[in-house]
Structures are given as C-alpha cells and as structure tokens.
Amino acid sequence: MKRFLFIVILILLTVMAAVTGRLAYRMIYAAGFMNKETVYLYVDDNKDFDNLCRSLLETAKPLDMELFRITAGILKYPSNMKTGRYALMPGTSCWELLNTLRRGQQAAVRVTFNNVRFIDDLAERLGGQLMFDKGDILRLLNDPACCDSLGFTTETVGALFIPNTYEVYWNIPAEQFIQRMKREYDAFWTNERRAKAAAIPLTPVETAILASIVEEETAAADEFPLVAGLYINRLHRGIRLQADPTVRFAVGDFSVNRILFEHLEVESPYNTYKYAGLPPGIIRIPSVKGIDGVLNYAKHHYIYMCAKEDFSGRHNFAVTLSEHNRNANRYRTELNRRNIRR
C-alpha cells in the first residue's frame, strides 16, 4: 500500500512539474502575442492595467490573455506601472514584455514639427505626438517668467523651436521638452551662425523674426536669400519693411490675397507699413532654410518686390520705384482679371 501511495504521489508530482514547466515555458520563453510586426503600447498618467490589456487585445492579440494577467500578477506589475511608450516586437513573451513595462524601458518617439505658423498650432502638433497635452505647453509658452528664463519673450519664444525631427521619450514632461529645445537651439546657433547674424547686424532672435517674414513672403526656397537681402537693404537704409505678411499677421487673417488700404491702417506693432524696423516677434516658426537664407542673404540693390502676375509664388524685384510700379500694375491687372478682391 505504501509503495502504491508513493507511486501515485510521484506520478502526481511529475504531472504537476510537467504542467508547471510547460506553463513557465509559455510564460517566460514562448511568444505570447500574434503581432507580425512591432506594435507600440502607451501607458499614460491613468496607469490603468485593464486599459493596457484592452490595448493589447486590439494591437497585439495575446495568445492567452489570462496567462498575461497571471504573469503580471507574479511580477506585481499592476501596482508598479510606469508611463511611457513601449515596443512589442514579434516573438516577445509575456515575461519579456512585462519586464520591459515594469522597468520603464521605453522606445523613443521621433517628434517632428515643421510648417507651423502659430504657437497654438505648435502646441497642438506636439500634444498629438507626446503624452503631455496642448494646454501643458501653452501655459509655459504664455508665461513671461518662463520665456524670460529661456532668453525670450512670449512674442519671440517661437524662435526657440528649430523645426527638425527629435528623439525623445513619449512621457517627457512639457518643462523638460522645452529645456531639450533650448539645448537644441543653443547647438543650432553655432559661433559661425552667430557671427553671420552679428555682421548684418542682427541677434539670433531678430534673424528668426526676419526669417519668418521671408518665409511668409515667398513659397520658393531659392528666393529666401534674395528676399532677405531686400529687407536687409531696407533695414540698413531706414526704410520701412512694408511686408504684406506682417499686415496679414496684424489683421489675423493669412488667407487675405489682396492687401487693401484698410489693412494698411490696422493699428499693430506688426504692421510694418506703419512702423519701421522689425516687428516685436515672429509671424511663423521659421525653418532652418529660412534662417540660413537670412544669414546667407544675397547682396544686391533691390528694395522693392512684387508677386509675379503668374501667381507662381515667385517675385519680381526692382531697384527703382518706377520699375516697381510697373511690376505692381501687372500684378494688380491680373488680380482684377481673376476677380480677386480680397
């Protein structure tokens, strides 16, 4: 009887060991998900384990959801969740994924922003790519003390952001993201670029302001140095810039195609038809090409420009007022022919 009991117990232990070993293998080594390519899991401030499980069901399709939950319990993950963006590659086991999540081993996200006009647009673009929302970064960029600590004002702080692609962690706080942008800004403004700006003479912020006008003025990047040279000629001679994009900014409507006399009378420090020199801030976030177009401006004698009558986005340039008037008349004639009244 004792021998029989011993054999039964041995068989039970063997079966249990086999079951446990199989379970451990499936948990630790075997692929736990059916994804054929890398998918990304996002854990935000809510840190809800059930939400994470639902996300897994939608994106990675676990082979055994209950096994994933059991593994999570063993590793005490539900009570130790960390925010972030995590990569789940094909062939990953439940144990591997949960260890990655538990340790906060994130996959960086590539943040891109370009062709941005207003700070509000920038905040929305960033909020759509990172964990913080639009309001988090707007509060900082609209805070005079915060902007001053970075070397800007609330009107010029857009110049801090150099359009590019940056690798950061998805859960980076808005404050840390701005500090990262400050480091990128300082790296961008090398001694060589600063020397070129000083020779104009402009500060880096003034260069960005002029670049923002240049970029709004022409759609052709190869015209940037020409347009920049024209405005620099005007600055050197004390002539008002009379830049139509600054009027559109002052009016608050960039869809205006035809600048009318009523627009030119708008009271705003951005109205360069009324006020000499550069406006107090940028009218869009300038690109690297725009900034370098100012720093490497074309040296010529043009002080007038007018959009070409073919509506190509390019310009006719002139040295004399009479030449400019001829260019302007051709453009106005075409506006009238196309019945463009505003």
Domains of the chain, first to last: 26-103 (3.30.1490.480), 109-188 (no CATH), 195-337 (no CATH)
pLDDT for position 23:
47
Question: What separation in angstroms does the CA of 46 have from each of 43, 82, 84, 226?
Answer: 8, 10, 11, 52
- Collect the ranges in the chain with pLDDT lower than 50: 4-6, 8-25, 27, 29
Single pTM value for the model: 0.85
pLDDT for position 157:
96
Buried b (16+ CB within 10 A) or exposed e, 2-39: eeeeeeeeeeeeeeeeeeeeeeeebbeebebbebeeeb
pLDDT for position 133:
93
pLDDT for position 307:
85
pLDDT for position 1:
56
pLDDT for position 12:
42
Q: To which H or E segment does residue 85 belong?
A: strand 84-88
pLDDT for position 255:
76
Report d(CA 282, CA 237) in Å as an integer.
22
Compute the C-alpha angle 154/163/113, nearest 5°: 90
